[in-house]
Amino acid sequence: MRRFLLLYATQKGQAKAIAEEICEKAFAHGFSADLHCISESDKYDLKTETAPLVVVVSTTGTGDPPDTARKFVKEIQDKALPIDFFAHLRYGLLGLGDSEYTYFCNGGKIIDKRLQELGAQHFYDTGHADDCVGLELVVEPWINGLWAALTKHFMSSREKERNEALKMASNASQRMEPVKPELLYIESQVELLRLDDLGRKDSEVQEQNAVNRDQSSAPTAESESSLTHSIPPLSQASLSIPALPPEYLQVHLQESVGQKTDFSYQPGDAFNVICPNNDSEVQNLLERLQLTDRREYCVLLKIKADTKKKGAALPQHIPEGRSLQFILTWCLEIRAVPKKALLRALVDYTSDGIEKRRLQELCSRQGAADYSRFVRDAHASVLDLLLAFPSCQPPLSLLLEHLPKLQPRPYSCASSNLSHPGKLHFIFNIVEFLSNTTVEVLRKGVCTGWLAMVVAPILHPNTRVSPAEDGKAPAPEISICPRTTNFFHLPSDPSAPIIMVGPGTGIAPFIGFLQHREKLQEQHPEGHFGATWLFFGCRHKDRDYLFREELRHFHKRGILTHLKVSFSRDAPVGEEAAPVKYVQDNIQLHSEQVARVLLNESGYIYVCGDAKNMAKDVNDTLVEIISKQAGVEKLEAMKILATLKEEKRYLQDIWS
């Protein structure tokens, strides 16, 4: 069987899940995938690898490779490596990212570029999948095209070996043109037909066609498509549905018998809040699975003896011997939008023919638009699906196999240890969004909704809450852990000027900066401290101006040299000229000073907040300012800004 090396670099599990999908599909196409995390350098050696390489890489932070790829990237960035170090390597790379961030798919791009610089060549064009519009829009066709590209590579290699003795030897090997994913679907389908003898069955297609025939005459009064109902042409189409993911977990529910650590931080650091799922959603899911009476039972897992899943392993995020209630509450992201693989798995546990057909449509290639509209864009959860398709009765093991880890949520420290020893402050907005599946529901964010509930007795005390002995509500208990990558720090030289851009809750780390700077200036009254600029913005001055009194205090004392505030929704008063609306407008208004700080005074600029609009707009504004003030073309201004980023003088802590 034709072997290829398959590596993944993951931060939250998406790259790993996609790599595992590639690994499982490989056998049906006549290939054997040697699957490893890119951090497991003891299990592979690219210096001597002769098989083709496939890499799936996610992006974290503001454009960095994931933590699991740090060591790998550091090793290949070694400037002492010769330019032909990987000249023997042929590879294809799939990058994952989010176009709401400035440096889209940059984790994959960093690795891709460096492999090329070291002589490696593509056998398959790089794919860039965008989580903003749906990873599957690129991931699925990229995987479909991979098999024909691999086949072409192996055929070319064999032909090259046969003809090598007949050719005049040449030191420069001929570069093989990479295959383009968008041209490969027909080729990959032909390859499927050739591989029937490998055991691929047509039962899935036969099954869905049978359902199609059974439902062809079923009358319906609905004229518009929805989560549970489709209309022609999709409702009458033959479907190409994905292969059934192999089950691999065996679950046993066993009846249960009845430390604090110091956290040190610097201003600008972020930390993770470990939050639970919404309790009512957990209870509804237990009820739908008919497991309410066993919610306190311990969950015992082991790998099925007859599983066909290659390299099956117990999920590391599910602790051993904890209750079902605990696992659904603290370990699994039950709000996660179900992947098509889960929808495909649910098909086999759905008894109603119409519901089965609709689930097949939603996971099929033909139903991609309906999946995007009614599942991904509607923020559907697995509970939403189970309520919408009542005849679907999956076992618990299926959910444990497919639901991802409940990720901790990152927040910025809004305080300084010097000002508040032993304490940590942070701020949050309560996120609300509409989930529109079968009915429209207003939901709060998993973490912010929980935090709001936790602090409610303090913010809104009422007589129904039992007071503590001192008459106050008990302090809420919130579990946190440090983030592994913290880079958003004040300059080591306090004389360097800094510019801070933080609208809304993006102001959090800068409060810590200013508290820290205030204490340092008290401790070193003769010291030289650089100028500090803060560009803050919010919607309404009267309702949303966070830390107003603190900022006035810092400004009055000279800790904050320049305070520039904008309010996007407040109308001008009287004959007053229209005020600046956004932080980027204020930055543009002070373009000369901003350019002087960055280009002439070796200053630093920090941006914290929304990645989707604000961070991009600020970046574009900085490009304009540098172009105008330095008298250079836009491309050169972008290069100057990129240099500031490399020098860690342009730092972003942004989120979508």
* Helix, strand and coil in the chain, % to nearest 5: 40, 15, 45
Q: Please say if the pLDDT value at position 133 is more than 90.
A: no
pLDDT band at 189 (very low <50, low <70, confident <90, very high): very low
Higher-pLDDT residue of 158, 81: 81
Q: Please say if the pLDDT value at position 124 is more than 60.
A: yes
Total length of the chain:
656
pLDDT band at 473 (very low <50, low <70, confident <90, very high): low
Q: Please say if the pLDDT value at position 215 is more than 50.
A: no
Rama region for 465: left / alpha / beta (φ>0; ψ in -120 to 50; rest): beta
Q: Are the C-beta atoms of residues 138 and 108 closer than 8 Å to each other? A: no
Q: Which of 172-186, 361-375, 527-541 has the lowest mean pLDDT?
A: 172-186
pLDDT band at 58 (very low <50, low <70, confident <90, very high): very high
Looking at residue 593, its pLDDT comes to 97
In whole angstroms, what is the distance from residue 142 CA to residue 145 CA?
A: 5
Q: Long-range contact list for 207-210, CB < 8 A, 24+ apart? A: 208/238, 208/239, 208/241, 208/357, 208/360, 209/238
Looking at residue 220, its pLDDT comes to 44
Token duo for residue 607 = 């941006």
Looking at residue 210, its pLDDT comes to 44
Non-local (6+) Cβ contacts of 650 within 8 A are 598, 604, 605, 607, 622, 641, 644
Q: Please say if the pLDDT value at position 196 is more than 50.
A: no
Name the one residue in this structure whose structure tokens are 């999946």.
371
In whole angstroms, what is the distance from residue 116 CA to residue 90 CA?
A: 10
Higher-pLDDT residue of 179, 602: 602
Token duo for residue 455 = 């602090």
Q: Are the C-beta atoms of residues 12 and 404 closer than 8 Å to each other? A: yes
Residues 615-634: pLDDT tens digits?
999 999 999 999 999 999 99
pLDDT band at 311 (very low <50, low <70, confident <90, very high): confident
179 has which bridge partners? 124
Q: Are the C-beta atoms of residues 255 and 309 closer than 8 Å to each other? A: no
Q: Please say if the pLDDT value at position 203 is more than 50.
A: no
In whole angstroms, what is the distance from residue 115 CA to residue 111 CA?
A: 6
Mean pLDDT of 37-60: 95
Looking at residue 388, its pLDDT comes to 96
Higher-pLDDT residue of 202, 51: 51
Q: Please say if the pLDDT value at position 348 is more than 80.
A: yes
Looking at residue 61, its pLDDT comes to 77
Q: Are the C-beta atoms of residues 397 and 250 closer than 8 Å to each other? A: yes
Nearest Cα to Cα of residue 497 among 649, 309, 307, 382: 649
**Cis previous bond, 474, omega within 30:** no
Mean pLDDT of 551-569: 95
Nearest Cα to Cα of residue 242 among 342, 388, 116: 342
Mean pLDDT of 324-342: 95
Mean pLDDT of 62-84: 92
Higher-pLDDT residue of 332, 160: 332
Residues 389-446: pLDDT tens digits?
999 999 999 999 999 999 999 999 999 999 999 899 999 988 888 877 777 788 899 9
Looking at residue 85, its pLDDT comes to 96
Q: Are the C-beta atoms of residues 267 and 516 closer than 8 Å to each other? A: yes
Looking at residue 157, its pLDDT comes to 79
Looking at residue 245, its pLDDT comes to 87
Mean pLDDT of 41-56: 95
Q: How far apart are the first and last CA of the chain?
A: 43
Looking at residue 177, its pLDDT comes to 57
Pairing of strands 650-655, 532-538: unpaired
Token duo for residue 467 = 């007071």
Mean pLDDT of the chain: 87
In whole angstroms, what is the distance from residue 256 CA to residue 394 CA?
A: 24
